[in-house]
Amino acid sequence: MPSFPTPCAPSDPQIRAVGEQVLGDLQRSFRAHAAAPGRAAKNDIDRGVQNIVAARAKRAPGRDQARAHAELDGAAPPSSASFSGIQIIDPNAPEPEPEAPAVPRGPRIALVGTEVRCWAETNEAGADEIVLGGFCTDPFGNVTPLDPRMIDDDFEVGELVEYEGGQVLAEVPLLATAPSWPATYSITLTLVEKDVEGFDQNVAQLWSGLQPHVRGRLGAVAGVAGLASRAVPVVAVTSWVVSSFVSWMREWSQDDLIGTRIISVALEGLDDGAFARAGLLNPQMFRLDFKGSGGHYSIDGYLTLLR
């Protein structure tokens, strides 16, 4: 059956320390770009944060600068491997082997929506223009952004958008291999106002860029270095860091993002028995609630298998 997890902090203290360092670096990068719009990005990860800050600044110029300056004045210095000077990949190192083989289009896990309801509008003036986006993650941690979908450009309290027969909102292709079984596939959904459209793509870009960085940081820690060659702990740490960073941004600004939800499916294999145990052959309806910026929206839907 699908689950709706909130990524948890790593239980191992050394691994958690790595995650907290990476999260702290993201927060410092965010403040630095907010305090100095137009500041040059140092690498792909820093550029991902810069894109998020730029989208926010475009919506409300100057809003974040004063707070960012104040927080930077009292902030701790960046860690030695922070994004201001990080070497994500040694240019002299051989190219890493691809983690997951390319496979032709085949079975997919699909999120099918049946209705979207507005329970409360956001704090924005006028009717809400709501966009659904997000990204999918496979067991190896590979990320595929979803195409943003305009749900309604004039949402008001009590309004309902129905999809007769169901509307596929997201698809996750199943891979022929996995780093271990059960293998977890996830769909991260974001609900935003139209004027911050693109947030989900920026987060997906950040997610992808962080993985090799997290792997490198784990590999440098005595006692857990062997974990860096395995996809599962790297994906788990990256998921927690990104989820925590998004939550921190929401609390920092109390604006922009209505909400995020994660849907995960753990497959024991690629046979019909495994699909049935995961609830994909006899779909069950569920509701996803998104709350933030004063708004409350819900999406009703189910997961199924497409072949």
Pairing of strands 295-306, 286-292: antiparallel
**Tell me, what's the pLDDT at 94?**
45
Residue 95 has a pLDDT of 45
Provide the residue-wise pLDDT of the chain in tens; the chain has 307 residues: 788 877 777 777 888 888 888 888 888 888 888 888 777 887 778 888 888 787 766 655 555 655 565 565 555 444 444 443 333 333 344 444 455 555 446 799 999 999 999 998 887 666 677 888 888 889 888 888 888 888 887 788 888 999 999 999 999 999 999 888 899 999 989 887 765 556 767 777 787 788 788 888 887 775 655 554 455 577 788 888 888 887 787 666 555 567 788 899 999 999 999 999 999 999 899 999 998 778 899 999 999 999 9
* Whether the Cβ atoms of residue 193 and residue 122 lie closer than 8 Å to each other: yes
Domain borders along the chain are 13-57+116-306
Listed in order, strand segments (DSSP E) in the chain are 108-120, 128-137, 143-145, 149-155, 160-173, 183-193, 257-267, 286-292, 295-306
The confidence score (pLDDT) of residue 299 equals 96
Identify the pLDDT of residue 90. 38
The tokens describing 53, both together, are 């800050």
User: Can you give the pTM of this predicted structure?
Assistant: 0.74
- Cα separation of 307 and 305, whole Å? 7
What pLDDT sits at residue 222? 54
What single DSSP character describes residue 10?
P
User: What 3-state class would DSSP assign to 276?
Assistant: helix
Q: Sort residue 42 into left (φ over 0), alpha (ψ -120 to 50) or beta.
A: alpha
| CA–CA dist 28, 120 (Å, integer) | 33
User: What DSSP letter does each residue of 60-95 carry, written as one string?
Assistant: STTTTHHHHHHHHHTPPPPPTT-TTS--SS-TTSPP
Cα dihedral 181→268→112→231 (10° resolution): 0
pLDDT in the model for residue 121: 84
Please give the pLDDT value at position 236. 80
